[in-house]
């Protein structure tokens, strides 16, 4: 049987494979950074990154979604000549916004580092990251052009090259210059990121222009008059959502160390705990979201194409497959990670202790995956504005939990994770109401929730007791974990197939 390379399934699995390689590289990169610069400097780096994400969210996050959606729509209705207009307009908007924002950040970099970030040692790195942001924006507009025309190979392969260049550049800079101060360590990481983005922006721009030239998609000036309005109508709500989330992440990054100090920890202990949770524990639990991240990249253009073609039954069928596949993959992997997380943490980072309750982190991971998927589906259906409201409401709930619970000695970082779970639950509930009402679907309790939960519980109990047995018996843990993983996968697939016979597949 010939593989349909334009299908959502093919694109998702191809991106998943690439993202798995990328995440693996990023994981070992984080391990190397931890061993070279230490947990405290990882914490310092984590303090800066939410601020950088706020800047990028404001400058281009909404535009990239708009480019992907509009390119998909133009391709679906045969208006390929207008695609160039979309790209040119998006680039002009991005350059105009990013230049103004970069100038403002440069002028007030000291105040931002000392006041908002809460540590003046991040100022140099913040300034270095400004050209990185501009290059990343140009790169992502080109990437989303390819996603819009359902060509996932080019941006996916580029992602691997980006990771390799970033890792090589950062580690080489740290080893060559061997910085004596925390400030210089974080700055060199930023320099390595800039080197990577120079390569990515130049290469993807060349590939995009070559593809457009090959397709002879000439710009239509008359058709481009309404492009700015369409871009902004899509981009502004998405930007508001991402900006709110990024701002709240930055606020959390500032609040958490301070509230940990209020709970009785020293400043050094607070920063180390913060770095351990966000630099080690949460990345470990985010491994199952590799599939989800790949799926989110192509949901918007895929659904936008079907909506433009008015294929309503196919829209319902695709949404059902999206939720079923994402939860089916994410839940069992997360259930398996819970009992083995202390061993993996010790093996990879040299720390046995997990800086939060593993079950809470697992719940937050699965809910976060559903949140990302539901938002992408809503965007694909053209519901940017109500989705924005759900995210902003959830963000404020998260900050409130962080402020009041992290300072409690009995909770500390568990208070943050509880807030994360509460905020995501609110957001996901609103997103599902939007999706079901817009598409005319019904919530599929058995396929989307009960079936994967039952099968994943079996994975959790098998992994828990098996790992405990091997540890007490004195076996080498790494081969034991691999063997348990294979056994759990077989059991999960068998249970899932058995449970699937209990109910007929969904029909719109």
For residues 191 and 44, the model is more confident at 191
Mean pLDDT on 404-432 = 92
Q: What is the mean pLDDT of the segment spanning 149-158? A: 84
Lowest mean pLDDT, pick from 197-206, 234-243, 390-399: 234-243
Q: Binning pLDDT at 50, 70 and 90, where does residue 349 land?
A: low
- Judge whether 475 lies within some domain: no
> What is the predicted pLDDT for the residue at 6?
55
Is it the case that residue 434 has pLDDT exceeding 90? yes
Q: How far apart are CA 4 and CA 136, in angstroms?
A: 31
Domains identified in the chain, total number: 1
pLDDT score at 7: 60
Inside any domain, residue 171: yes
How much is the average pLDDT of 20-43? 78
Q: Could you give phi then psi for residue 239, rounded to 5 degrees?
A: -60, -45
Which domain does 46 fall in, by range? 8-443
Of 306, 450, 254, 280, nearest to 358 (Cα)? 280
Closest CA to 204 of 98, 64, 74, 301: 64
pLDDT digits (tens, 9 = 90+) for 310-319: 888 999 998 9
DSSP 135-188: HHHHHHHHHHHHHHTT--HHHHHHHHHHHHHHHHHHHHHHHHH--SSHHHHHHH
Structure tokens at 439: 């598409």
Domain membership flag for residue 507: no
What global pTM score does this model have?
A: 0.74
For the residues 62-79, what does the mean pLDDT come to?
83
Q: What is the pLDDT of residue 309?
A: 83
Portion of the chain with pLDDT greater than 70, in percent? 92
3-state per-residue secondary structure call for 331-392: HHHHHHHHHHHHHHHHHHHCCCCCCCCHHHHHHHHHHHHHHHHHHHHHHHCCCHHHHHHHHH
What is the pLDDT, as a whole number, of residue 356?
61
pLDDT of residue 246: 73
In this prediction, residues 118-123 reach a mean pLDDT of 80
pLDDT at 108 over 60: yes
Give 222's pLDDT tier (boundaries 50, 70, 90): very low
List pLDDT tens digits, range 84-94: 888 889 999 99
478 within some domain? no
Planar angle of CA 16, 17, 23, nearest 5 degrees: 80
Does residue 508 form part of some domain? Answer: no
Q: Is the predicted pLDDT of residue 345 greater than 80, yes or no?
A: no
Mean pLDDT of the chain: 83
Does 116 fall in a domain? yes
In a domain, 64, yes or no: yes
**How large is the angle between the packed helices 62-76 and 358-380, nearest 10 degrees?**
40
């Amino acid at each position: 049987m010939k593989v349909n390379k334009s299908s959502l399934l093919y694109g998702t699995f191809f991106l998943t494979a690439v993202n798995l390689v990328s995440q693996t590289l990023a994981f070992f990169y984080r391990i190397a950074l931890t061993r070279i610069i230490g947990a405290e400097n990882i914490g310092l780096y984590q303090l800066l990154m939410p601020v950088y994400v706020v800047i990028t969210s404001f400058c281009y996050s909404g535009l990239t979604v708009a480019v992907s959606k509009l390119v998909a729509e133009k391709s679906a209705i045969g208006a390929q000549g207008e695609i160039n207009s979309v790209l040119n307009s998006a680039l002009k908007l991005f350059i105009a916004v990013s230049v103004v924002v970069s100038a403002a950040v440069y002028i007030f970099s000291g105040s931002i580092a000392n006041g908002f970030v809460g540590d003046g040692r991040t100022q140099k790195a913040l300034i270095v990251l400004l050209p990185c942001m501009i290059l990343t924006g140009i790169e992502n507009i080109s990437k989303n052009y390819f996603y819009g025309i359902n060509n996932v190979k080019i941006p996916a392969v580029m992602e691997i090259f980006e990771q390799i260049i970033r890792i090589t550049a950062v580690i080489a800079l740290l080893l060559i210059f061997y910085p004596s101060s925390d400030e210089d360590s974080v700055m060199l990481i930023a320099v390595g990121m800039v080197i990577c983005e120079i390569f990515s922006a130049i290469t993807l721009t060349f590939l995009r222009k070559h593809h457009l030239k090959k397709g002879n998609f000439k710009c239509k000036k008359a058709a481009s008059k309404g492009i700015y309005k369409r871009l902004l109508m899509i981009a502004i709500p998405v930007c508001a959502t991402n900006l709110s989330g990024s701002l709240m992440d930055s606020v959390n990054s500032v609040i958490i160390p301070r509230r940990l100090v209020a709970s009785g920890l020293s400043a050094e202990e607070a920063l180390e705990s913060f770095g351990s949770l966000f630099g080690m524990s949460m990345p470990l639990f985010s491994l199952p979201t590799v599939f989800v991240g790949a799926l989110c990249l192509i949901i918007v253009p895929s659904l936008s194409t079907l909506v433009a073609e008015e294929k309503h039954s196919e829209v319902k069928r695709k949404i059902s497959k999206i939720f079923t596949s994402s939860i089916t993959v994410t839940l069992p992997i997360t259930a398996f990670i819970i009992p083995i997380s202390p061993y993996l943490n010790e093996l990879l980072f040299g720390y046995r202790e997990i800086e939060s309750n593993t079950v809470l982190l697992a719940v937050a991971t699965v809910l976060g995956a559903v949140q990302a998927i539901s938002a992408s589906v809503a965007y694909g259906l053209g519901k940017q504005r109500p989705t924005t409201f759900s995210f902003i409401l959830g963000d404020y709930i998260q900050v409130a939990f962080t402020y009041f619970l992290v300072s409690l000695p009995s909770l500390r970082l568990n208070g943050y994770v509880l807030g994360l779970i509460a905020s995501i639950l609110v957001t996901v509930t609103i997103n599902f109401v939007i999706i079901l009402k817009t598409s005319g679907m019904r919530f599929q309790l058995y396929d989307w929730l009960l079936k994967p939960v039952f099968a994943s519980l079996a994975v959790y109990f098998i992994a828990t007791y098996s790992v405990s047995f091997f540890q007490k018996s004195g076996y080498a843990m790494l081969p034991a974990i691999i063997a348990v993983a294979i056994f759990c996968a077989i059991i999960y697939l068998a249970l899932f197939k058995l449970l699937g016979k209990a109910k007929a597949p969904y029909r719109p």
